[in-house]
Structure 1
Amino acid sequence: MLPPILANLRIPVVASPMFIVSGPDLVIAQCKAGIVGSFPALNAREKDGEPALLDAWLTRIAEELDRHNQANPDHPAAPFAVNQIVHRSNARLQRDIEICHKHRVPIWITSLGARPEVNAAAHDCGGIALHDVINERFARKAIEKGADGLIAVAAGAGGHAGPQSPFALVQEIRTWFDGPLLLSGAIATGRAVLAAQAMGADLAYVGSPFIATEEANAPADYKRMIVESGAEDVVTSSLFTGVSGNYLAPSIRAAGLDPDRLERGEVSDMSFDENSPRPKAWSQIWGSGQGIGAVREVVAAAGLVDRLAREHAEARAALCGA
């Protein structure tokens, strides 16, 4: 059974947090449209000596969603989520945990490591913690360390994707875990959302289609590349962060590299330092999942959610007679 905070969405979708791309404009639009909007805490970057931008972002999101709810009591906004990168290279982690705790963030998403203290902070302020995993072994560790739910990041997902089929990953997790389970991996249509549910996931985790939205903090060329590309234009490489991820081949070529001849990166080299000498994911090397063949134009986020909702309802009616 889903926790109440995830049980009454317009459609069973959580928008995944995308490095650089996801910010307050996109999150607010997603939540108002009826799905969970999210962003990585690391996207809120202030200059040295300035107040914490994350604090300002959370204040703005909460205030705008509250105004929306007061004006639309019959159609309240969905909750929002903040993603914490818990890898040791994230020097801001403790500060960002404290800010999220102060703002009582309702949904915490953790990546690149499971940390009990992060889950405890989420629970202490009344939130829930979801952890993304690429295999069943990591899934067990996450639950053992206090996560409330899991995000199964399967082959075809954008960013740090796993190598396993979504069928294999979901069915292995469901042999022992009956809590909240999200599925990520090339989900770009309402029919794919329904397929994720049929496989055993509670919710779909959708990212790349939202890059091609008006509210996304992405360059126009990036949005256009999403629209013009398909699955064959997505390549997998560990060079840019030390962890295997999926990226757009045209952006790799634009950075002067051959996407067919990329060196292997090491996880020990992972760094979120803006001064890193290697091409930067995702500001220079643009991430994407394999589902972008379904993205045909740049639209408002609300329009994308409308399409997903319509396709989801049509697919249910066709397959289930509901």
Structure 2
Amino acid sequence: MPLPADLTARLSLPLIAAPMTGVSGPELAVVACRNGVIGSFPTHNAANVEVLDEWLDQIGTAQSGHPDAAPLAPNLVVHRTNERLAADVDQLVAHGVELVITSVGSPEPVVERLHAAGCLVFADVATLRHAQRALEAGADGLVLLTAGAGGQTGSANPFAFVRAVREHFTGPLVLAGGISDGHALLAAEALGADLAYMGTGFIATTESLAPEDYQAAVVSASLDDVRQTEQVGGLPANLLAAWLESQRAPMVSAGDFQAERLTNGRTVWSAGHSVSGVHYACSAAEVIDRVRLQYRDARNQLLEMPCR
């Protein structure tokens, strides 16, 4: 199944403002949606279920006067240690969310309930095996976590991963990892993705929940300043080296993911390889406008290239 026409008609770019722990909130999601980009945030960024309800109310009110705004796509951690999962799903259903992105496990526990409410489910995956399992569980689309994605990441080359999945799946694909500008976004489409994630590019924005020192570190960093580790959350994640080197807390064992670590108030400085494309802090709307111009320029450059 391709992306629904009523969804694509509301997009000005084939882009999702990626859900980021400690960064994405209602303000960032609203600005993204109003500017034709799918907005998102992890539900665990809301301190509790009551705050999640307030956030969804806030977003719904902001969107009420903008019927052509892009959809919201909250992110659910579906790992067995997420004690809020059922209650968070209840809120998403009650608020009529159109699209949900699942992370850290099979979407099976939530697919039936969300589908019954008319909600599409995209699952993020980092391997071909996980992609197949997500589709067998009923996922409508896949978010491919590739090498260089900020925060939780994968290790597969994006060119190889997208093409390998496209051999067997014709439905919606989202490429996550390394999307720093409109040129990379167009390249993701040429590769076979329907949409792409941009996360790191939205960290240093007015609407971001990230503290000022984190935003400043993103602006000053390059991709050489990104390190992959499993010792912070238990799963492979790309983080800023400066933050990692400053930590004194005990590191966790590889594979020991616990959902409660996402809500313990600790700010983790995640960033992907696309950090090299962040040169100054600005509004989220300015980021989107810049990507839109770059995307048009990239398309025009391709049209002007001679056939070989």
- Regarding TM over 0.5, the answer is yes
Q: Given the alignment of the two structures, is residue 63 of structure 1 paired with residue 61 of structure 2, yes or no?
A: yes
Structure 2: 5+ residue stretches without partners? none
Identity %: 38
Q: In the alignment, what sits opposite 1:165?
A: 157
> Quick one: which amino acid aligns to residue 33 of structure 1?
N
Per-residue deviation, 1:67: 2.0
Task: Select the residue among 90, 98, 102 that pairs with 2:82.
Answer: 90
Matched, 1:288 2:271: yes
Amino acid at match of 2:260: F
1:40 matched to 2:42? The reply is: yes
1:28 aligned to 21, 27, 30, which one? 30
**2:286 aligned residue (282, 287, 303):** 303
2:186 matches 1:194: yes
The offset of 1:255, in angstroms, is 2.1
Spell out, residue by residue over 1:284-320, the C-alpha distance to the aligned partner (whole angstroms, 9 max, x if none): 4310101111111111101000000000000000012
The residue type equivalent to 1:270 in the other structure is: Q
Partner-residue secondary structure (3-state), 1:110:
strand
Where do 1:199-278 residues align within 5 Å?
199-256=191-248, 265-273=253-261
SS at match of 2:184: helix
- Quick one: distance in 2 between partners of 1:285 and 1:206? 18
Residues 237 and 264, structure 1, Cα contact 8 Å, conserved in 2 = no
Q: Equivalent residue of 1:129, what SS?
A: strand
Q: 1:116 Cα deviation (Å)? A: 2.2
Is the 1:208–1:292 contact (alpha carbons within 8 Å) kept by the matching residues of 2? yes
CA contact (8 A) 1:139 1:150 kept: yes
| 2:301 matches 1:318 | yes
State the number of aligned residues. Answer: 303
CA-to-partner distance for each residue in 1:36-70, whole Å, 9 max, x for gaps? Answer: 00001111114xxxx7111111111011111234x
- Normalising by structure 2, report the TM-score: 0.94
**Aligned partners of 1:301 and 1:36: how far apart in 2?**
13
Change (3 A) 1:174 1:95: same
Q: In 2, distance between residues paired with 1:245 and 1:238? A: 6
Equivalent residue number for residue 140 of structure 2: 148
AA matched with 1:195: A
Distance 2:174 2:208 in 1: 22
Q: CA–CA distance in 1 between the matches of 2:248 and 2:234?
A: 19
Correspondence 1:181 to 2:178? no
CA contact (8 A) 1:89 1:272 kept: yes
State the shift of 1:264 in Å.
6.7
Deviations 1:243-280 (A, max 9, x none): 010000111122248xxxx967232353424797xxx7
| Deviation beyond 6 Å, 4+ runs, structure 1 | none
Alignment CA distance shift 1:124-1:275 (3 Å)? closer
Equivalent pair of 1:243/1:265 in contact (CA under 8 Å) = no
Matched residue type, 1:267: G
Which stretch of the first structure deviates more once superposed, 119-128 or 267-276? 267-276
Aligned equivalents of 2:157 and 2:166: distance in 1?
A: 14
Q: Residues of 2 paired with 1:17 and 1:92: CA distance?
A: 17
Distance change (3 Å), C-alpha of 1:284 and 1:98:
closer
Partner residue, 1:73:
none
Describe the SS at the equivalent of 1:201: coil
